[in-house]
Structure 1
């Protein structure tokens, strides 16, 4: 049994193996009903030990088969001194002194050799064993069928969800002749609306004012409701005029056999409608021309066909004129240029979308939005999916955007390059600022100071009036003056106290000291298959004082490099030397997949790191900005940035010597990014990060390593120098 367990779960602790083996040997399992008993005992233990569910299910089946066979074999052995009672009748006759050796004979019997040389024949019927094996085989087949059905259902559900989102887009964005809306006002002005999400108020009595042609950066803390606002606009839950086309880029395109460039071309639904109409009209005209050749037609029928053809030809000319007006013939070159700017090589533009990863399909979704050019384009953190060259290209492209743009981003440099205005969400309201993010940051501070001064001045004036009223209201001579001041006091506008922003903090505990070298890579080469090598001949030395940023184009092997450091993958050649006491905490791009979103942050941490009370977990989460009741909310209701903070809080419990961070600033708001930067500057351990955030890299890292073309090399300049190098 031990061998089976170790084979199913490699690397499992010896104590666990001995415990399971002892339990199975000490208990009697006789019928197929006991299969569930074995599974209920073994499966949870091995899942917690890191085993894979499919391997453990097969192990439980194998264990049941082995136990049934052993039980039937043991039923023919004469055990003395408290042995098991035989469940089969063995005919021994007059002989005695049965040998301990048994040989399975033909016909299902068993021959027992005696010490005296005499032989006895046992009539052991193995029908029970065969019946149990048949039932077990049926159970395995049913389980496999259920597994396959579950996989098919999940795949179908995900595909249906994505298609539903696309249908929803069509519902809220019907085919619109955008050539007919020229001259109409495309400003948006909506007053006095409320928005709620998951029972929580996002905006109260708010006003949305968006001028056509302006580019708005939408900023605010994590969880404040920025994405909810954009979705409400896209679904027209806010009263956007029907002649204004809106598009919210949030989901990746559905992967199928459609080439990437064709998927982009289809985004212009008005152009697609005109092309379809052109094909339909041409086919009908060809059909009429074929019918006109019929010699049996009467003169009246011929005239009717001529009239139909003339009408269709007129419609076709109108379609051609509209296609010419929208420059349909230039559409493919325009789509190719957008895809190229977002990192798609020319051959890749013809590849089916199903061959691209989720991140690249998200780029296709962005390319579709840029190509169809809606009146109002809304982008939700578009820089998260892009490398530095693609970000620079997008910045330059959006600077020439002539329609309205709303973009959620936490990258200050990106907002400085793109935004003409800032839309600031806070305290269930919207504030508007002219200029880019730098202007907004300076103006916001001035507004806050002015609001505090005004509030304090009014409170002082109110106190002065109230003191006069309280002193003289009952004095006959001064009563009229007191009454006059009371009227003044009642007419004063009620000012709300300016909301002081809570400071967000991150905190990583300093690690215990370990002697160098802590982690080295010598001539390391890795590829997922023999045909394609991702990185090769890597030489790398990581120290406790290292502050390293790994940069390079998407797909160059940056994340693979981090997986090699954290032993997620094993090199094909070369050596990785690690200090035996080294603890590494790994923050992945897909850290949310490692969280159980059905639990609260406190509940999840208690499961993963038991031994503390609720208050201690909440205090620890508070050190990463998860304060108040947020730590007790179900995590699926949290924003992306809040989930990232939870992930960082969990990593810190490992008390790592080295933090390995793959795109750590994605989804974090600016205050959280600042807090993370400060915490990493104070951290006494090593840091290695893959990031495209220029400000973050400049603040945290003092070494730049470029991963490109499968090679990792140290760069002598700063991140600004690298940016100039790849984007001259």
Structure 2
């Protein structure tokens, strides 16, 4: 049976390599089974060969050749099984109740976590109840092979790849998450010391959707230990690049572990802290393997007592125990290297830094809202400490204290970080390098945070434009001489010389001019104070659980107030009280009778009919103007051209936010109340929003996690802590220092 692979390829010349390897291994497996302690009642040769026949025909085999091959194999295997059965009738099956130690030895040198667990969990063999063929077929491995085949077929039939949403942190069951984690990050008990963890991928194209190319002949270089900020306009393909890396669609070396924070985890009865601990599948499986080895060793000790000391059975059991003890030592060393004993305290510290109290850490994950589940996803990734950590807009799900903690944590992160973010302050603190994705390419700004990237890029564009304009002028000068003297006998040689110069000039492209985005909030008419006041206001969703207590706040036409604090401290509740969507339990809220408020909700998309265009939705929701007036108004918020006529479900998150800003201004408000207005806006959108708010003639009260926009716009910082809302004595940077000082005092922020 040594030439099975050759026979398979001869029968099916066009067979895919993966299918050929699988078919060959399966036939060899059946062949080995006929030589072991099995009988015709335990293995059905014709049934196994019929399975192989169907597999090879589906893989493109010629039916006649495949039938000949499977018939020949069936005859040989049946003969071997018959001989083995006859032998067993004479000698008996002395190994029936023993784990096959030869198989264990054969696989020991190259065993990984999956094969070890497969051997240890083969209950039919270990419990000595007789071997059954169904226990020998690894369905997970079969599914893995089928996925590989499907991937190869997709690449062969298409020149582009359609990416699914990453499953890494959003699977329906732990089993799916675990198997996907191990597929992306296979565990090798051997050391990866000495192997470079730098990533360099040259000359690749990347596509998304129906053949839309987002990168062309690009090169990605990530030096281990550096923290990269990936920036670019909305819709340019930054998230697609992260997904491609997270699923190893791009050629990342196998010894480099990867984790991608993209989607919230699905809630179940698992506690928050246990969910974080379970995210490290290596540790979880190694602990499980350690336990199974210990149980098997105990079982061997009991079995030894049933045989004579010098018997073959005892020797086999001793050999098996020796192999298991050796492997147990490898597992223990790996757990020690991972500092498994410190795992729970480390998980608790990460959760605390992200806003989970000691009490909420033990609540079931299903009891948390979507935003808190996103924090759990982030905590799971930080806990796993992958070699390459991929973060997609992490600040969108966090408040200022949590962002401050995350930035501090990442500054001490001893591996590679690639983060997509439009939060300038966050990138300034975290990034050691910036990658700018634009025009189907990646430009590198090494040793730069966001501010230095921005200034360097502006200077680079000026130099490119100057060089381009100088070359265009030189080309024009050469061409003018050529046109004038090409047919002049006296000057023809000089004309030819200039033609050669013109041909040798490098072809420069004009620097791209990014579209300028502008926002404009209409100036309101004047109203007399008091405008909007809260006097000794208290509120709670039940009298025994007060969320806000004794709040005094005065909002004027020139107010620029930022409302900060941890999630769950009542920030959005206070906004709803001001909007009269909620009524206080105690105290008084007064507002000018002529006051108009423009409210931007954090989840504004929920109130939009995305099947309509922006113009149609605004005319339906805020009637009274012509379509041309709505289009002109949308244009003042960057929704220009045909964007206002497209279905809103086709718009990016940032474009939907601009529609929401345009809508809140239709009643010409005196006061703007904004709940997380910076979410989904790219750098240009954030700059436009900050400038528009500064030029606005009314008052502004915003809840935001974006330090940059708070710093540019707001003059007052109000903080919600311990049911109290008070003005903070300082600016947003002073508040961040206050947060870090409090965290350091609690021992939360430290180098991990």
- TM-score of the superposed pair, with normalisation by structure 2: 0.72
2: CA distance, partners of 1:496 / 1:164: 52
Corresponding residue number in structure 1 for 2:219: 207
Which ranges in structure 2 are unaligned for 5 or more consecutive residues? 1-168, 742-752
Change (3 A) 1:591 1:454: same
Corresponding residue number in structure 2 for 1:576: 589
Say which of 348, 372, 389 aligns to 1:377: 389
Corresponding residue number in structure 1 for 2:200: 189
Are 1:443 and 2:451 matched, yes or no? no
Q: Secondary structure at the match of 1:641?
A: helix
Corresponding residue number in structure 2 for 1:25: none
Change (3 A) 1:164 1:679: farther
Are 1:663 and 2:690 matched, yes or no? no
Are 1:698 and 2:722 matched, yes or no? no
Which digits, 9 at most, give the CA deviation of each residue in 1:515-546, with x for residues without a partner? 33232222222111233111122222222222
Corresponding residue number in structure 2 for 1:533: 546
Change (3 A) 1:452 1:512: same
Are 1:717 and 2:730 matched, yes or no? yes
Cα distance, 1:248 vs. partner? 1.6
Corresponding residue number in structure 1 for 2:613: 600
Q: Secondary structure at the match of 2:542?
A: coil
Say which of 270, 276, 280 aligns to 1:264: 276
Say which of 347, 355, 361 aligns to 1:343: 355
Are 1:513 and 2:516 matched, yes or no? no
Change (3 A) 1:523 1:588: same
2: CA distance, partners of 1:703 / 1:159: 39
Are 1:558 and 2:535 matched, yes or no? no
Q: Secondary structure at the match of 1:525?
A: strand
Are 1:482 and 2:495 matched, yes or no? yes
Aligned residues, how many?
Answer: 571
Cα distance, 1:473 vs. partner? 0.6
Find the structure with the greater CA-based Rg: 1
Corresponding residue number in structure 2 for 1:679: 692
Change (3 A) 1:332 1:703: same
Say which of 325, 330, 352 aligns to 2:337: 325
**Worse-matched range after superposition: 172-181 or 341-350:** 172-181
1: CA distance, partners of 2:200 / 2:557: 55
Corresponding residue number in structure 1 for 2:244: 232
- 2:170–2:263: 8 Å Cα contact kept in structure 1? no
1: CA distance, partners of 2:252 / 2:650: 27
Change (3 A) 1:381 1:601: same
- 2:189–2:334: 8 Å Cα contact kept in structure 1? no
2: CA distance, partners of 1:162 / 1:582: 51
Corresponding residue number in structure 2 for 1:276: 288
1: CA distance, partners of 2:354 / 2:409: 11
Which digits, 9 at most, give the CA deviation of each residue in 1:154-213, with x for residues without a partner? xxxx99779899479537624333863332222222233333444544223322222222
Which digits, 9 at most, give the CA deviation of each residue in 1:638-663, with x for residues without a partner? 33222211211121223212110111
2: CA distance, partners of 1:162 / 1:316: 28
2: CA distance, partners of 1:167 / 1:346: 27
Which digits, 9 at most, give the CA deviation of each residue in 1:683-723, with x for residues without a partner? 11211111222222222122222211111122332222222
Are 1:170 and 2:181 matched, yes or no? yes
2: CA distance, partners of 1:206 / 1:189: 11
Cα distance, 1:632 vs. partner? 3.5
Change (3 A) 1:546 1:538: same
Q: Secondary structure at the match of 2:266?
A: coil
Cα distance, 1:320 vs. partner? 1.3
2: CA distance, partners of 1:724 / 1:404: 26
Which ranges in structure 1 are unaligned for 5 or more consecutive residues? 1-157
Are 1:316 and 2:309 matched, yes or no? no
Which digits, 9 at most, give the CA deviation of each residue in 1:80-105, with x for residues without a partner? xxxxxxxxxxxxxxxxxxxxxxxxxx
Change (3 A) 1:464 1:386: same
2: CA distance, partners of 1:661 / 1:205: 42
2: CA distance, partners of 1:614 / 1:196: 36
Corresponding residue number in structure 1 for 2:263: 251
Say which of 403, 406, 411 aligns to 2:415: 403
CA RMSD of aligned residues (A): 2.4
Cα distance, 1:361 vs. partner? 1.6
Change (3 A) 1:301 1:237: closer
Change (3 A) 1:576 1:169: farther
- TM-score of the superposed pair, with normalisation by structure 1: 0.74
Corresponding residue number in structure 1 for 2:373: 361
Cα distance, 1:297 vs. partner? 9.3
Cα distance, 1:366 vs. partner? 0.8
2: CA distance, partners of 1:164 / 1:586: 44
- 2:172–2:266: 8 Å Cα contact kept in structure 1? no
